[in-house]
Amino acid sequence: MLGKRTFLTASLGLVLGGAALAQATLTAPPPAPAQQQTGTTRFITVSSTTSTTDSGLFNHLLPAFQRASGIEVRIVSQGTGQALDTGRRGDADVVFVHARAQEERFVTEGFGVERKPVMYNDFVLIGPRSDPAGVKGSTNITAALQLIRERQVPFVSRGDRSGTHAAELNLWQAAGIDIAAAKGPWYREIGQGMGAALNTSGAMGAYVLADRATWLNFRNRGDLEIVVEGDRRLFNQYGVILVNPARHPHVKQADGQRFIDWLVGPEGQRVIADYKINGEQLFFPNATQPGV
């Protein structure tokens, strides 16, 4: 079985295209349209996937950017699909998500200026210690999903158009399973974010796909543990995009671009690498890596 760091390094360039809350939750004051200012406060609005919030990364990252720039970053925390929709409406200056196919479509459709890679980690399959599907210790995620479907043991899906949800759907497809046709009472779609999905899994004794960073920062683990990890198909890439000011003239182009440049520059990449929980690094910067 590949070690976590070995897996992450080997996985560069292997991207799982992917699509978090059904209703946005905020880590800052309620979002105003991107063109508004409050008093003399200088700020930008960033719509981002819930994993960057739930993992604690933004609490570590954003104060460093504000000290360097004087610009406050206000986060709208949503599933990737919703975060991109927020950008499409012009209600954010920047989007920071993890579903490359959707990100590239966002740019191709003219809603974003340019997609830039920022960092990566991986997904893990979480399940109860009793492991009713018998998948614990496997490094083959598609074989594990086949056993879960065959034995119809409980599985929780976020079902919220997030990057994690998109990755899950791609993995069912890779396992040769049409989940839309195969799902039954054993497969529960909750339409909510990662924290809610993990809590539901704990209550049901169910399996769930999670990003490793959110799992490491999750406190209410109960009987849950990582049961499958190390498959290169679990690679999880993050990208950042400036919302197109030609489409939405009120977008704060200069300040939004400054945030992006800092994020993918040496200082931002160092701050990302420095974020750890119990000595374990949660995200691995790769802004200079081509093709991710």
In tens, the pLDDT along 187-216 reads: 999 999 899 999 999 999 999 999 999 999
Residue 234 has what pLDDT? Answer: 98
Residue 1 has what pLDDT? Answer: 41
Measured CA to CA, the distance from residue 241 to residue 96 in angstroms comes to 7
Q: Are residues 241 and 107 in the same domain?
A: yes
Q: Are residues 274 and 218 in the same domain?
A: no
Looking at per-residue pLDDT, the higher value among 161 and 131 belongs to 131
**What b/e readout covers 101-137, taking b as 16+ CB neighbours within 10 angstroms?**
ebbeebbeeebbbebebbbbbbbbbbbbeeebbebbe
Residue 40 has what pLDDT? Answer: 64
Q: Are residues 11 and 116 in the same domain?
A: yes
- Provide, rounded to the nearest whole percent, the portion of the chain with pLDDT above 90: 83
Measured CA to CA, the distance from residue 144 to residue 114 in angstroms comes to 37
CB atoms < 10 A from the CB of 222, how many? 13
Q: Are residues 161 and 194 in the same domain?
A: yes
Measured CA to CA, the distance from residue 197 to residue 176 in angstroms comes to 24
180: in domain = yes
Rounded mean pLDDT of 220-244?
97
Quote the strand ranges of the chain, DSSP E: 25-26, 43-49, 72-78, 94-97, 112-128, 155-157, 187-189, 207-211, 224-228, 235-243, 276-277, 280-281, 284-285
Residue 27 has what pLDDT? Answer: 41
Query: Taking all residues of the chain, what is their mean pLDDT, rounded to a whole number?
Result: 89
Q: Are residues 186 and 200 in the same domain?
A: yes
Q: Are residues 97 and 114 in the same domain?
A: yes
Residue 22 has what pLDDT? Answer: 35
Three-class SS of residue 43?
strand
- Mention every residue, 6+ apart, whose C-beta is less than 8 A from residue 253: 93, 242, 245
Q: Are residues 127 and 223 in the same domain?
A: yes
Number of domains in the chain: 2
Q: Are residues 67 and 108 in the same domain?
A: yes
Question: 5 falls in which pLDDT band (50, 70, 90)?
Answer: very low
292: in domain = no
In tens, the pLDDT along 79-123 reads: 999 999 999 999 999 999 999 999 999 999 999 999 999 999 999
* 77 phi and psi angles, rounded to 5 deg: -95, 115
Question: 8 falls in which pLDDT band (50, 70, 90)?
Answer: very low
Residue 291 has what pLDDT? Answer: 84
Query: Domain range spanning residue 246?
Result: 4-120+235-285
291: in domain = no
290: in domain = no
71: in domain = yes
- Which of 64, 26, 62, 68 minimizes the C-alpha distance to 47? 26
Q: Are residues 225 and 138 in the same domain?
A: yes
Are 93 and 228 in contact, with CB atoms under 8 Å apart? no
Q: Are residues 15 and 31 in the same domain?
A: yes
Looking at per-residue pLDDT, the higher value among 26 and 286 belongs to 286
**Is residue 152 predicted with pLDDT exceeding 90?**
yes
Are 124 and 226 in contact, with CB atoms under 8 Å apart? yes
Rounded mean pLDDT of 256-260?
98
- Which of 117, 107, 149, 151 minimizes the C-alpha distance to 132? 151
**Is residue 172 predicted with pLDDT exceeding 80?**
yes
Q: Are residues 162 and 91 in the same domain?
A: no
147: in domain = yes
In tens, the pLDDT along 233-244 reads: 999 999 999 999
Residue 243 has what pLDDT? Answer: 98
**Is residue 266 predicted with pLDDT exceeding 50?**
yes
Residue 137: which CATH number?
A: 3.40.190.10
Residue 147 has what pLDDT? Answer: 98
In tens, the pLDDT along 47-88 reads: 999 899 999 999 999 999 999 999 999 999 999 999 999 999
Residue 39 has what pLDDT? Answer: 53
Residue 290 has what pLDDT? Answer: 83
Residue 14 has what pLDDT? Answer: 38
Q: Are residues 50 and 129 in the same domain?
A: no
Residue 146 exposed, middle or buried by CB count within 10 Å (0-12, 13-18, 19+): middle
